Structure 1
């Protein structure tokens, strides 16, 4: 063979080998990114996504179509397995549906509430009502670009300014972004948003604060129209916006401390203290033993609604037995406990479900938006307060009802609101209601049921709200937390995962804490 041809042949062969190796390296890197789990294998859960893809006509496609959904989920979500398969199926279904709402815009990723276009939405079909629910749910994704860019779109996507309809609905965005920081510890992002969040807080003070220091809101601007305590044009001091503003003030005080601004931190601490006092003094109805709406005429609305639990979403109420009494109503069938979940108004009220159906009534029907808030508040109450009113069996029962309610004609479904007695989705046959992105579920599984409690320090706290004998096993794996990968398992016999009996926490594959019981454990 000619020497020159031989040299060319050898060079081609070397290049071919290198290309093959590079391709393999890239593939290995993708596989590594897709599977950082310690116990669970992602492929074992692909059947759920195949089922979801096959059970629908893909009516609207945004950034990530169905045929890419499994690859996206492998790279982004914590994996979850449990002996109760309805919880497992719903966990993957809610990630699968959340992914549908990711939208590419000229300003970056955004997250929609409805898939279909809504006339009252902002640019890119965005609605701010459930923004904080989106933050809480999406904070658990490995790729934070989706939620980070979505928040930037809302605050800076209108030629550098706020979107026009950012404040169309009450907001607890500052508090939620601080909660996100407790998961990802991205201080740079949080403090970059700090001036925007201060400006938003001051805007609410400018047009929603009453002379007495409480905040007012129309029920429709809480996203809770046709309520028993309010109206679309009634300026009531509601537990919603006042709790939100308390939570925002607490979060902004923490951010100011992170910046080293003691004066500003003290300013927001004082705002929070003032709101706490006002909520406890004016919104607490001692007769009903509940936080209730204070009307624009300075009288109590005298009706218990689910919004009365929102103060605990932000740990607002004092450690006080009289306030704890409110939680008896989540276990009372005359209160909020119905066959298909927690109602939005007490069932004993003579006005319960009197507003008809079809115009987004919050007069008693079950809304996942409210269920998310109540269950988050309940987990806080059970973790942070000394009480014996609500037990793990109660929390589990309510989560089980939430799971069972998210089916429609035998298939997983999440929509707007449902009949509390039949489970029928009241907007279920309307295209707009399909995959309604207006609530959390997976955040409740992670922080409530499994019990990973995000914290600012470097301790790992886990307190599962599951009765000791309810599940034979569960595993939450591939959880990106403070830059590490966490794995939390419960193995009643030790034979499911072969890591020993009981509750165990692993950090990057190394065991850091364990207990024989389903109880609070903290890894130092």
Structure 2
């Protein structure tokens, strides 16, 4: 009797354990097709433990993991700092989502700034915000933020929207290439056309170029200009070229041939002027044109921005400029890409503490240059820079984003020590003024957004650098995309090699890390 009872008890115990195991397994949210989100929660637990949260907005720290698990692509790789920084930048980006009576807003600083518009909004990094948020699954955050900027003043744009140079039309079109939401994009078209016209009225020159104060480019105290100097800078001219190209494409989508041709002509004019008037053949670099129509005679990181928008013509020798990212007398430094060439006698000559762009490393500029560099590697036939150069710069970018041994993103840093030049100032913490995860997705892993339904991936990770990596849960054209490299096939159990999956189904593969385009 006792033996029989023990046997039954044992069987019931086994069944209970089995049931609880199945229940636990079914309750566990995998999120991706290959990666399990729960395997990355420890990063967020660590980030939350780094601080006593003193400023909480729409999504406080205790809700950060739930938001990330719902909204972001997952990333896995063998280099710990890359993986940690990937999740940190999503965690810090989320801090800037602000719930307002007019919808979500995305801030640049967590602390209030006197020169901001309502809800502490600043337009300087709006393009960066759109590029980064295009990979967030819920579109409401960035869409409502853009609507607030353009229609939040009784149906009109906010007063300070044009306080800073803008590539918003371009950014919104590139967001469309990810989510294919034509309705939203074309609804914004009239607002963007109006914005372009206002820029022409306020900053257009007689020759067709645009001028800007360096401070209104968000780049105070530069070597080429000044806070009150009306120079024709590579920044605003590249932005306006890109905006014209985007507006021309949007007009084509609307079936408006007149506006399509109008904005295409605008873009062509700016392109020719940038190539002829801003290119300094003596320095082999795009440089600022002064008020006197002479070159500023100094290389600055803004000279790489034309490639952010694929502006320079191919096979005309412009790519030689990229030699400077490999030159220690140019822009290469121990903690990343400097904002002015290190050989200049005026390099780091403006002091510290007043937002100097005289050579210190700014993530705003680093992310622009790295986006441009990825375009050069993808869209230009050249032998000046390679994927090894790109990976090296991304590695420096990752290493620079630490302070006191912990992940950190601030305003700007010393190029040789890595010290953040605003130190521990509250205003500088979590500065939302650059991209990182867009670079990881479109540059390093290499998912290249495009208008058709083919999926193009061109990784800029050197062949023998990592034995495995995976980007999963990427919402792209309404599907979930997975991209993985598994040298042995034993890490993810999906077979050896480089593979692309759409909704869990393999659609392209190769034995090596190389460009893939699905049929």
Whether these two folds match at TM > 0.5 is: yes
Query: Does residue 335 of the first structure (1) align with residue 330 of the second (2)?
Result: yes
SS at 1:80 equivalent: strand
Aligned to 1:305: 300
Structure-2 separation of matches of 1:234 and 1:320: 34
Aligned to 1:516: 511
Query: Does residue 503 of the first structure (1) align with residue 479 of the second (2)?
Result: no
Query: Does residue 444 of the first structure (1) align with residue 444 of the second (2)?
Result: no
CA contact (8 A) 2:30 2:38 kept: no
SS at 2:498 equivalent: strand
Aligned to 1:136: 131
Aligned to 1:7: none
CA contact (8 A) 1:36 1:485 kept: no
Aligned to 1:476: 471
CA contact (8 A) 1:473 1:496 kept: yes
Aligned to 1:219: 214
SS at 1:307 equivalent: helix
Cα-Cα RMSD: 1.3
Per-residue CA distance 1:343-385 (angstroms, 9 max, x = gap) = 0000000000000000000000000000010000000000000
1:168 alignment partner, one of 163, 169, 193: 163
Deviation at 1:320, TM superposition (A): 2.4
2:186 alignment partner, one of 184, 191, 211: 191
Aligned to 2:75: 80
Deviation at 1:428, TM superposition (A): 2.5
Per-residue CA distance 1:305-328 (angstroms, 9 max, x = gap) = 000000000000000252010000
SS at 1:228 equivalent: coil
CA contact (8 A) 1:35 1:74 kept: no
2:200 alignment partner, one of 202, 205, 220: 205
Query: Does residue 112 of the first structure (1) align with residue 107 of the second (2)?
Result: yes
CA contact (8 A) 1:347 1:364 kept: yes
Per-residue CA distance 1:56-80 (angstroms, 9 max, x = gap) = 1111010000000000000000000
Give the TM-score, by structure 2 length. 0.94
CA contact (8 A) 2:459 2:514 kept: yes
Structure-1 separation of matches of 2:451 and 2:196: 23
Query: Does residue 488 of the first structure (1) align with residue 483 of the second (2)?
Result: yes
Structure-2 separation of matches of 1:165 and 1:207: 14
Deviation at 1:35, TM superposition (A): 4.6
CA contact (8 A) 1:428 1:434 kept: no
SS at 1:263 equivalent: helix
Runs of 4+ more than 6 Å apart: none
Per-residue CA distance 1:498-517 (angstroms, 9 max, x = gap) = 11111100000000000111
Write the mapping of 1:154-165 to structure 2, written as runs, cut at 5 A. Answer: 154-165=149-160
Aligned to 1:454: 449
Structure-2 separation of matches of 1:438 and 1:351: 25
Structure-2 separation of matches of 1:167 and 1:321: 34
CA contact (8 A) 2:204 2:211 kept: yes
Aligned to 2:226: 231
CA contact (8 A) 1:406 1:412 kept: yes
SS at 1:477 equivalent: strand
SS at 1:282 equivalent: helix
Structure-2 separation of matches of 1:315 and 1:487: 27
Structure-1 separation of matches of 2:370 and 2:138: 26
Structure-2 separation of matches of 1:506 and 1:304: 43
Deviation at 1:469, TM superposition (A): 0.2
Per-residue CA distance 1:249-272 (angstroms, 9 max, x = gap) = 000000000000011000000000
Structure-2 separation of matches of 1:374 and 1:275: 20
Structure-1 separation of matches of 2:432 and 2:244: 26
Per-residue CA distance 1:101-155 (angstroms, 9 max, x = gap) = 0001111000000000000000000000000000000000000100000000000
Structure-2 separation of matches of 1:315 and 1:369: 19
Aligned to 1:426: 421
Per-residue CA distance 1:277-307 (angstroms, 9 max, x = gap) = 0000000000000000000111100000000
Give the TM-score, by structure 1 length. 0.94
Per-residue CA distance 1:378-414 (angstroms, 9 max, x = gap) = 0000000001111111000000000000000100000
Query: Does residue 292 of the first structure (1) align with residue 284 of the second (2)?
Result: no
Aligned to 2:63: 68
Query: Does residue 97 of the first structure (1) align with residue 66 of the second (2)?
Result: no
2:406 alignment partner, one of 405, 411, 423: 411
Aligned to 1:56: 51
Aligned residue-pair number: 496
CA contact (8 A) 1:488 1:505 kept: yes
SS at 1:448 equivalent: helix
Structure 2: 5+ residue stretches without partners: 1-22
Structure-2 separation of matches of 1:192 and 1:286: 42
CA contact (8 A) 1:367 1:418 kept: yes
SS at 1:475 equivalent: strand
Structure-2 separation of matches of 1:289 and 1:298: 18
Aligned to 2:119: 124
